[in-house]
Amino acid sequence: MIFRRSLFAAAIIVAVTSLLPMFVGAMIVQTPALPAEISDKDFWRMIVDLSEPGGTYPYENFVSNELEYQDVIPALKATTKPGGVYIGVGPEQNFTYAAVLQSKLAFVIDIRRQNMLELLMYKALFEMSPNRADFVSNLFSRVRPAGLDIKTTAAALFTAYENAKVDPDLAAKNLATIKAYMTKHGYELTSEDISTIEKVHDVFARGGPSINYYFASAAPVGLGPSRGGTYTRLMNTADATGRNSSFLSTEESYLYVREMQRKNLIVPLVGDLPLVLRVEGLLSTNVKFADARRQAAALSGGEINGFVSRDTLRAAIALEFGLPENTTFILQPSLFTTFGWRKSLVSSGFGGATAGDEWNLLPVVYIERPFRFTRDRLRASVTVFPFLGSPGQHYEGTKTKVVVSYKFSRFITGRLIYTTYDGGGRNSSYGQYNKWDNIGWELSYEF
Is residue 239 assigned to a domain?
Answer: yes
What is residue 394's predicted lDDT score, i.e. its pLDDT? 64
In a domain, 234, yes or no: yes
What DSSP letter does each residue of 163-218 carry, written as one string?
A: TPPB-HHHHHHHHHHHHHHHHHTT----HHHHHHHHHHHHHHHHHGGG--TTTTS-
Residues whose CB is less than 8 angstroms from the CB of residue 369 and which lie 6 or more positions away in sequence, other chains included: 325, 326, 327, 379, 380, 381
Question: Is 30 within the bounds of a domain?
Answer: yes
- Please report whether residue 3 resides in a domain: no
Q: Exposed, middle or buried, 85 (CB in 10 Å: 0-12/13-18/19+)?
A: buried
pLDDT in single tens digits along all 447 residues of the chain: 333 333 333 333 333 333 333 333 333 334 468 999 999 999 999 999 999 888 778 889 999 988 999 999 999 999 999 999 999 999 999 999 999 999 999 999 998 999 999 999 999 999 999 999 999 999 999 999 999 999 999 999 999 999 999 999 999 999 999 999 999 999 999 999 999 999 999 999 999 999 999 898 876 654 444 455 899 999 999 998 999 999 999 999 999 999 999 999 999 999 876 667 778 788 888 877 777 777 676 666 655 677 778 888 878 888 877 666 667 788 888 777 778 777 666 554 443 444 455 666 778 888 988 887 887 789 999 998 887 665 555 667 788 899 999 989 878 999 999 988 776 666 665 555 555 678 999 999 876
> What total of structural domains would you count in the chain?
2
Other residues' Cβ atoms within 10 Å of the Cβ of residue 228: 23
**Residue partners of 256: CB distance under 8 A and separation at least 6:** 98, 99, 102, 247
Same domain membership, residue 286 and residue 257? no
Based on the domain organization, do 164 and 291 belong to the same domain?
no
User: What is the C-alpha separation between 387 and 424, in angstroms, rounded?
Assistant: 9
Same domain, 76 and 129: yes
* Boundary-marking domain end, from 235, 270, 305: 270
Given the DSSP bridges, would you call strands 378-386 and 364-370 parallel, antiparallel or unpaired?
Answer: antiparallel
Helix, strand, coil shares of the chain, percent, nearest 5, are 35, 25, 40
Q: What is the pLDDT of residue 7?
A: 33
Q: Are strands 364-370 and 327-332 parallel, antiparallel or unpaired?
A: antiparallel
Asked if residue 340 and residue 255 are part of one domain, the reply reads no
Please compute, for residue 107, the number of CA atoms within 13 A of its CA located in the half-sphere on the CB side: 23
Whether residue 13 sits in one domain with residue 46: yes
- Domain boundary pick from 244, 270, 296: 270
- Give yes or no: residues 181 and 258 share one domain: yes
Q: Which residues contact 302 (CB under 8 A, 6 or more apart)?
A: none
Count the Cβ atoms, other than its own, within 10 Å of residue 184. Answer: 10
Q: Tell how strand 378-386 and strand 398-407 pair up.
A: antiparallel
Secondary structure E strands in 327-428: 327-332, 334-338, 345-346, 359-361, 364-370, 378-386, 398-407, 412-422
| 1 within a domain of the structure (yes/no) | no
Give the phi and the psi of residue 338 in degrees, each rounded to 5.
-120, 125
Q: How far is CA 389 from CA 307, 402, 436, in A?
A: 26, 23, 22
Residue 191, judged by CB atoms within 10 A of its CB (0-12, 13-18, 19+), counts as exposed
> 42-80 as b/e, with b when 16 or more CB fall inside 10 Å?
bbbebbeebbeebbebbbbbbbbbbbebbbbbeebeeeb
Predicted confidence at residue 73, as pLDDT, reads: 95
346 with 264, same domain: the answer is no
Find how far residue 284's CA is from the centre of its chain: 26
Same domain, 255 and 399: no
Residue 294 lies in a domain: yes
Could you tell me if 200 and 148 lie in one domain?
A: yes
Domain-ending residue, one of 270, 295, 328: 270
Query: Does residue 251 sit in the same domain as residue 363?
Result: no
**What are 422's strand-pairing partners?**
398
Task: Say if residue 51 is in the same domain as residue 117.
Answer: yes
The amino acid that residue 57 corresponds to is Y
Q: How much is the pLDDT for 128?
A: 97
- Are 334 and 347 a contacting pair, CB within 8 Å? no
- DSSP string covering 10-23, please? HHH----GGGHHHH
Residues 308, 288: Cα–Cα separation, whole Å? 6
Quick one: 264 and 321 in the same domain? no
d(CA 207, CA 407): 17
Neighbours of 294 (CB within 10 A): 18
Domain that holds residue 353: 275-445
For residues 144 and 133, the answer to whether their CB atoms sit within 8 Å is yes
pLDDT, tens digit, 9 for 90 and up, residues 45-72: 999 999 988 877 888 999 998 899 999 9
d(C-alpha 211, C-alpha 270), whole Å: 24
Q: Are 395 and 424 in contact (CB under 8 A)?
A: yes
Q: What is the DSSP letter of 145?
A: P
292 within some domain? yes
* Exposure of 137 in the CB half-sphere (CA atoms within 13 A): 16
Tell me whether residue 348 is in a domain.
yes
Separation of alpha carbons 407 and 413, rounded Å: 4
Position 36 scores a pLDDT of 96
Residue-level pLDDT at 5: 37
> Hey, how many other C-beta atoms are within 10 angstroms of the C-beta on 178?
23
